């Protein structure tokens, strides 16, 4: 009964059922009652991981490697345990930034770099297209085999069939139309495809059911349970080694480990997995169920792989039946028509599920991250000015779906049965593993830069191309095989399968080691060597700190825009109705109406529009569109730094505080010093007043005493009376002189003295003064010697004050010179631009310890308590102040017992 038409009708009936499910789910979602709210549907949709490669290929691999196929399914279990840490973060980031694909995620993380997004897209297409052709091959082969029932004939070499009779072509076209029908029905700003997810979950159930059915049939129908299958396999010398495969057949533990790592990365970074896990996720908490339901699914679908593989080997010992077809050929040879049909449908679900999700993911990437950024930049197209671009977007995506599927077909047609197709599953895994450093690094390492990601991706991908894809092509005969055996240009070190002489590993392990070294090495190295732009730093913070920032990156924006302009931009991509509802929702959440004048295009609003737009056309394109609508003022690196590192500002403030308090301390110290000085001055003033009053009281006391004697006793003799009156007169004169000098000194110190500065001939003044004093000296018998030059240059001084100084010095000298033998020398000379006048006597001199004090106020030579020396003690002090006022100096040179010499200088008057 298994004629061709039965199979075709069944297949179309199945596809029709899928479409009905998708249509129903979409309608329910549009009506606001989505059916995919169950976490089990989410978990089942993840099982799109199990493709035709799993459905048919696992058994094929197990038939030659034993349990060596299993790491591909153990890896996801180990990885998914880490998802609560890793995937939850990716989910949160993607939701907040409206990420639309894997390429968008990478581009967005590294400063919304269109270059990076485009590169990831191109790589993804190169990696995935052969994988799609593998699915086409599976469908076409299984159909060809089933049609031959009850004969078991392996399909002939493809390419022999004429193009229009090639099943694979029709399969490809039907799948493309199918994908377009529920992948691009309309443009959704959230990029959700609830219908597709429901259909994929259903397909997962079908393929699991089909595979388990075959497994149960083989294990319990053909054989008597697991024990029987394994016992018979162990009895067969050719099969027995497969039971303990880890040394030898499967390539040992190294390849086991690397396959595990590879599948751990593939479960996250295959574009279709990213699509169902991240983009189609509607509720973060669904992850909780998926963490155990999905591994359980993997376990179930793998339990019967080895029994089927061994059963096949036992049934077809000749090796003329391809082990990849055991799943189908075992029911066929046992005449189980319905089971065979179910297996075919199961394989069809595995293959179609993969193709549908993968092409939707790729078409989104090609549209949002490759074509739109280029088209929007081409000024000639004036795309940015068109009112409605929704049609264009949908057109590009539909075109991309057809192109991707047909590329898959083309590869299938060209590669045929060749090695390049059979091994492509693992080669694709190794390819998508190259995205891992940029993405995982990007969500945990803030310092990763765009250049680092570019360099790492390029290097990793280049090594992948060189060590995996090129050898595959060479083995298919598209490149000279010498390229593999001798290395390019005969350079043995560059042999693609033993790069730099690293031999003895299987191909995948070898390629993973070198590509990961290149990828991670450059990613980390270049990131560390360079620095981030402002946009990169902002995005790094948005990604890495996603659990900390609650409201995205809105505060990092500065610029001006009108809500109307933003509305128009949004409407171009999601339609006027979509834009109205999106902005309306925003306005409502802030208690405003739309359209209204209240709404202002602040940073938050612009950010909201950009994220919504990113949901439709990807973050890089959205960036370009927003930039065209708003006048954005670039944030300088410094500003962003300042915003991000608020902590550093606090540090700065505290630095300033410290500095201020240090300044304050310094000021306090100065004030304290000033205060000390004031206190000192106050004390000096008190001293001065007490000294002056003491000086005044001495003469007053004697005047009063003698006056009282004269008053009380009128009988005092005339001689006595004259003597008393003489004393009174002298003391009065002394009093007058003292008061005059105190006044004089006060005048000079306070600067109120009246100075009559003129050009003075000092020689003349000295000569005059000496002449005036000569009589007094003669009376006391003191010899006055003058040593004056012929002439001196003039100085600027007050003549009367100068005479006062000279008189003071001369009378002091006279006072202390011994009577009769005294000798006073007055000399005048010019030395180093100054006039110098010396007055030397040969009296008792000034004691060494007294010399610092002779110019102090009221200092007097000798013991004032015993004998009151003549003079007030103010003369020298006043003299020195006068000389200093003229700009000169006055000092004393003396040795005790050898006379004293007082000298002063006067600066010469300017010419």
Partner 1 sequence: MKSGQRTPRLVALAILGCLLFNYPILAVFNRPASFLGIPVLYAWIFGAWLALIALMAYAVERDE
Q: Which of 27, 235, 236, 247 binds partner 1 (CB under 8 A)?
A: 247
**Min. distance of Cβ 260 from partner 1 in angstroms?**
7
| CA quadruple 674, 680, 683, 685: dihedral sign | negative
| Residue 428 engages partner 1 in binding (rule: CB under 8 A) | no
Whether the bond into 150 is cis, omega within 30 of 0:
yes
Chosen residue from 14, 23, 226, 419 binding partner 1 by CB under 8 A: 226
Instruction: Compare residues 246 and 576 and give the one whose CB is closer to partner 1.
Output: 246
Distance in Å, CB of 291 to partner 1, minimum: 5
- Residue 118: name the closest of 367, 298, 403, 447 by CA: 367
Helix 450-464 to helix 507-529 angle, to the nearest 10 degrees?
160
DSSP code at position 219: I
Cα separation, 17 vs 335, in Å, equals 27
Nearest distance in Å: CB 212, partner 1: 14
Q: Which stretch binds partner 1 (CB under 8 A): 220-228, 361-369, 740-748, 880-888?
A: 220-228
CB 421 within 8 A of CB 137: yes
Q: Which is nearer to partner 1, 292 or 653 (CB)?
A: 292
Report residue 193: phi and psi, to 5°: -125, 75
* DSSP string covering 791-816: ----EEE-HHHHHHHHHHHHHHHHHH
Q: How far is CA 110 from CA 117, 232, 441, 454, 813, in A?
A: 9, 57, 11, 9, 97
For the CB of residue 259, give the shortest distance to partner 1 in the complex, in Å: 11
- CA 595/CA 590 separation, integer angstroms: 13
Q: How far is the CB of 257 from partner 1 (least distance, A)?
A: 7
Choose between 287 and 535: whose C-beta lies nearer to partner 1.
287
Number of Cβ atoms within 10 Å of the Cβ of 686: 10
Nearer to partner 1, 289 or 823 (CB): 289
| Least distance CB 73 / partner 1 (angstroms) | 9
Give the nearest distance from C-beta 119 to partner 1 in angstroms.
31
Taking the complex as a whole, how short is the minimal distance between the CB of residue 65 and partner 1, in angstroms? 13
Token couple for 603: 């940073």
Q: Give the β-pairing of 823-831 and 834-840.
A: antiparallel
Map the footprint of partner 1 across residues 292-331, applying CB under 8 A.
292, 295-296, 299, 303, 306
Helix 286-303 / helix 194-216 crossing angle, nearest 10 deg: 30
Q: Pattern of binders to partner 1 over 249-268, x per CB under 8 A?
A: ----x--xx--x--------
User: For tokens 């790592």, what's the residue?
Assistant: 261
- CA-based nearest residue to 636, from 535, 549, 543: 535
Contact between 322 and 60 (Cβ < 8 Å): yes
Minimal distance, residue 74 CB to partner 1, in Å: 5
> In whole angstroms, how close is the CB of 347 to partner 1 at the nearest point?
24
What is the rounded distance in angstroms from the CA atom of residue 133 to the CA atom of residue 124? 14
Q: Which is nearer to partner 1, 219 or 812 (CB)?
A: 219
Is residue 216 near partner 1 by the rule CB under 8 A? no
| Least separation in angstroms between CB 372 and partner 1 | 37
User: Per CB under 8 A, does 244 bind partner 1?
Assistant: yes
User: Token digits for 649?
Assistant: 């500002």
Q: Which is nearer to partner 1, 74 or 438 (CB)?
A: 74
Q: Which residues contact 630 (CB under 8 A, 6 or more apart)?
A: 559, 560, 561, 565, 566, 601, 606
The smaller minimum CB distance to partner 1, of residues 224 and 774, is found at: 224
Query: Minimum distance from CB of 321 to partner 1 (Å)?
Result: 24
Nearest CB to partner 1, comparing residues 288 and 475: 288
For partner 1, which stretch binds (CB under 8 A), given 290-298, 336-344, 431-439, 674-682?
290-298
Token pair of 592 as six digits = 């405003």
Q: How far is the CB of 503 from partner 1 (least distance, A)?
A: 21
Nearer to partner 1, 216 or 705 (CB): 216
Output 71 or 215, the one with its CB closest to partner 1: 71
Count, residues near partner 1 per rule CB under 8 A = 38
Q: Candidates 286-294, 321-329, 372-380, 596-604 — which segment interacts with partner 1 by CB under 8 A? A: 286-294
CB of 225 to partner 1, least distance (A): 8
Report the residue number, 81 or 669, with the smaller CB distance to partner 1.
81
Q: Does 220 bind partner 1 (CB under 8 A)?
A: no
What 3 state SS string does 471-538 have? HHHHHCCCCCCHHHHCCHHHCHHHCCCCHHHCCCCCHHHHHHHHHHHHHHHHHHHHHHHCCCCHHHHH
CA angle 79, 81, 85 (to 5 degrees): 95
Give the rounded distance of the alpha carbon of 244 from its chain centre: 51
**CA-CA distance, 231 to 781, in Å (whole number)?**
153
Nearer to partner 1, 223 or 573 (CB): 223
Report the nearest approach of partner 1 to the CB of residue 224 (Å).
10
Residue 891 phi/psi, 5° resolution? -150, 175
Q: Does 391 bind partner 1 (CB under 8 A)?
A: no
Which token pair is 384?
A: 């940015």
Pairing outcome for strands 783-787 and 823-831? parallel
* Separation of CA 203 from chain center: 45
Residue 381 and residue 176 in contact, taking contact as beta carbons nearer than 8 Å: no
- The nearer residue to partner 1, 235 or 651, going by C-beta atoms, is 235
Judged by beta carbon, residue 245 or residue 496, the one nearer partner 1 is 245
Question: Which residue number, 230 or 445, has a Cβ lying nearer to partner 1?
Answer: 230
| Rounded alpha-carbon distances, angstroms, from residue 176 to 363, 371, 399, 741, 752 | 11, 20, 10, 122, 111
| Residue 657 touching partner 1 (CB under 8 A) | no
Residue from 240, 374, 378, 689 in contact with partner 1 (CB under 8 A): 240
How far lies 527's CA from each of 361, 446, 459, 635, in Å? Answer: 29, 10, 14, 22
Q: What angle do CA 432, 435, 441 make, to 5 degrees?
A: 150
Q: List the one residue from 24, 170, 230, 755 that touches partner 1 (CB under 8 A).
A: 230
CB of 638 to partner 1, least distance (A): 37
Q: Which stretch binds partner 1 (CB under 8 A): 186-194, 224-232, 632-640, 902-910?
A: 224-232
List the one residue out of 127, 94, 59 whose CA is nearest residue 311: 59
Residue 231 as a binder of partner 1 (CB under 8 A): the answer is: yes
Closer by beta carbon to partner 1, 82 or else 153: 82
Which residues ranging from 61 to 120 are in contact with partner 1 (CB under 8 A)?
A: 67, 70-71, 74, 77-85
Separation of alpha carbons 439 and 120, rounded Å: 11
- How far is CA 627 from its chain centroid? 23
Least CB distance to partner 1 at residue 312 (A): 17
Residue 548 makes contact with partner 1 by CB under 8 A: no
Q: Closer CB to partner 1, residue 247 or residue 633?
A: 247
**Which CB sits closer to partner 1, 6 or 303?**
303
Considering only residues 291, 424, 738, 824, which one is a binding residue for partner 1 as defined by CB under 8 A?
291
By CB under 8 A, residue 478 contacts partner 1 = no
Q: Stretches 18-26, 230-238, 473-481, 526-534: which one binds partner 1 (CB under 8 A)?
A: 230-238
Buried b / exposed e over 363-401, threshold 16 CB at 10 Å, is bbbbbbbbbbbebbeeeeeebbeeeebbebbbebbbbbb
Footprint of partner 1 on this chain (CB under 8 A)? 67, 70-71, 74, 77-85, 225-228, 230-231, 234, 240, 243-247, 253, 256-257, 260, 288, 291-292, 295-296, 299, 303, 306
């Amino acid at each position: 009964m298994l004629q061709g038409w039965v199979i075709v009708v069944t297949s179309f009936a199945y596809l029709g059922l899928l479409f009905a499910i998708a249509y129903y789910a979409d309608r329910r979602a549009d009506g606001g009652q989505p059916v995919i709210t169950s976490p089990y549907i989410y978990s089942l949709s993840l099982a799109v991981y199990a493709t035709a490669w799993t459905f048919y290929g696992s058994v094929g691999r197990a038939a030659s490697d034993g349990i060596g196929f299993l790491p591909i399914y153990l890896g996801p279990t180990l990885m998914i345990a880490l998802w609560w840490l890793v995937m939850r973060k990716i989910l949160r980031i993607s939701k907040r930034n409206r990420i639309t694909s894997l390429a968008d995620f990478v581009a967005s993380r590294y400063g919304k770099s269109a270059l990076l997004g485009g590169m990831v897209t191109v790589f993804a297409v190169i990696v995935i297209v052969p994988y799609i052709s593998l699915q086409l091959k599976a469908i076409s082969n299984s159909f060809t085999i089933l049609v031959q029932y009850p004969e078991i004939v392996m399909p002939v070499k493809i390419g022999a069939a004429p193009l229009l009779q090639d099943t694979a072509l029709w399969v490809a076209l039907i799948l493309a139309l199918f994908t377009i029908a529920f992948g691009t029905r309309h443009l959704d700003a959230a990029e959700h495809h609830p219908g597709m997810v429901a259909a994929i979950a259903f397909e997962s159930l079908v393929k699991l059911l089909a595979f388990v059915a075959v497994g149960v049939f083989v294990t319990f129908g053909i054989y008597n349970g697991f024990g029987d299958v394994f016992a018979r396999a162990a009895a067969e010398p050719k099969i027995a080694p497969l039971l303990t495969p880890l040394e030898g057949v499967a390539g040992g533990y190294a390849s086991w480990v690397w396959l595990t790592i590879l599948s751990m990365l593939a479960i996250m970074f295959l574009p279709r997995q990213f699509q169902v896990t991240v983009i189609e996720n509607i509720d973060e908490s669904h992850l909780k169920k998926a963490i155990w339901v999905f591994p359980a699914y993997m376990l179930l679908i793998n339990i019967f792989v080895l029994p089927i593989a061994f059963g096949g080997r036992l049934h077809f010992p000749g090796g003329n039946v391809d082990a990849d077809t055991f799943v189908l050929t075992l029911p066929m040879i046992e005449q189980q028509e319905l089971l065979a049909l179910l297996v075919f449908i199961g394989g069809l679900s595995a293959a179609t599920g993969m193709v549908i999700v993968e092409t939707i993911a790729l078409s989104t990437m090609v549209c949002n991250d490759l074509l739109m950024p280029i088209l929007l930049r081409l000024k000639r197209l004036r795309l940015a000015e068109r009112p409605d671009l929704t049609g264009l977007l949908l057109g590009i995506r539909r075109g991309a779906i057809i192109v991707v599927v047909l590329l898959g077909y083309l590869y299938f047609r060209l590669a045929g049965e060749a090695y390049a197709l059979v091994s492509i599953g693992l080669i694709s895994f190794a390819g998508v593993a190259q995205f891992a450093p940029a993405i995982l690094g990007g969500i945990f390492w803030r310092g990763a830069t765009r250049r680092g990601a570019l360099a790492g991706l390029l290097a990793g991908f280049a090594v992948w191309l060189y060590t995996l894809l090129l050898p595959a092509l060479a083995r298919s005969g598209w490149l000279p095989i010498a390229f593999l055996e001798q290395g390019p240009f005969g350079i043995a070190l560059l042999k693609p399968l033993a790069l730099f002489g690293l031999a003895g590993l299987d191909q995948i392990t070898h390629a993973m080691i070198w590509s990961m070294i290149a990828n991670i090495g450059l990613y980390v190295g270049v990131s560390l060597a360079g620095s981030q732009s402002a946009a990169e730093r902002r995005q790094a913070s948005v990604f890495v700190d996603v659990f900390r920032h609650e409201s995205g990156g809105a505060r990092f924006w500065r610029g001006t825009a009108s809500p109307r302009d933003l509305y128009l931009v949004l409407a171009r991509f999601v339609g006027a109705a979509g834009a109205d509802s999106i902005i309306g929702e925003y306005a409502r959440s802030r208690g405003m109406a739309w359209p209204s004048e209240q709404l202002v295009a602040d940073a938050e609003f612009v950010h909201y529009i950009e994220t919504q737009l990113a949901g439709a056309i990807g973050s890089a394109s959205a960036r370009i569109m927003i930039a065209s609508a708003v006048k954005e003022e670039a944030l300088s690196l410094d500003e962003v730094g300042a915003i991000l590192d608020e902590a550093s500002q606090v540090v700065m403030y505290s630095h300033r505080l410290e500095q201020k308090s240090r300044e304050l301390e310094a000021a306090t110290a100065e004030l304290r010093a000033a205060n000390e000085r004031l206190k000192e001055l106050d004390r000096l003033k008190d001293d001065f007043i007490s000294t002056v009053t003491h000086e005044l009281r001495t003469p007053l006391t004697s005047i009063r005493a003698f006056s009282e004697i004269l008053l009380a006793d009128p009988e005092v003799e005339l001689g006595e009376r004259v003597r008393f009156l003489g004393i009174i007169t002298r003391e009065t004169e002394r009093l007058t002189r003292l008061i005059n000098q105190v006044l004089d000194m006060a005048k000079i110190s306070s600067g109120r003295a009246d100075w009559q500065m003129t050009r003075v001939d000092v020689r003349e003044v000295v000569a005059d003064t000496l002449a005036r004093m000569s009589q007094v000296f003669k009376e006391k018998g003191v010899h006055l010697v003058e040593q004056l030059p012929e002439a001196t240059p003039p100085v600027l001084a007050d003549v009367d004050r100068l005479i006062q100084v000279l008189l003071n010095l001369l009378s002091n000298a006279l006072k202390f010179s011994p009577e009769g033998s005294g000798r006073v020398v007055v000399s005048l000379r010019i030395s180093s631009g100054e006039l110098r006048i010396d007055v030397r006597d040969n009296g008792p001199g000034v004691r060494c310890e007294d010399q610092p004090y002779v110019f102090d106020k009221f200092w007097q030579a000798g013991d004032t308590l015993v004998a009151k020396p003549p003079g007030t003690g103010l003369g020298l002090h006043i003299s020195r102040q006068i000389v200093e006022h003229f700009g000169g100096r006055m000092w004393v040179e003396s040795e005790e017992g050898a006379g004293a010499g007082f000298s002063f200088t006067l600066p010469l008057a300017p010419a």
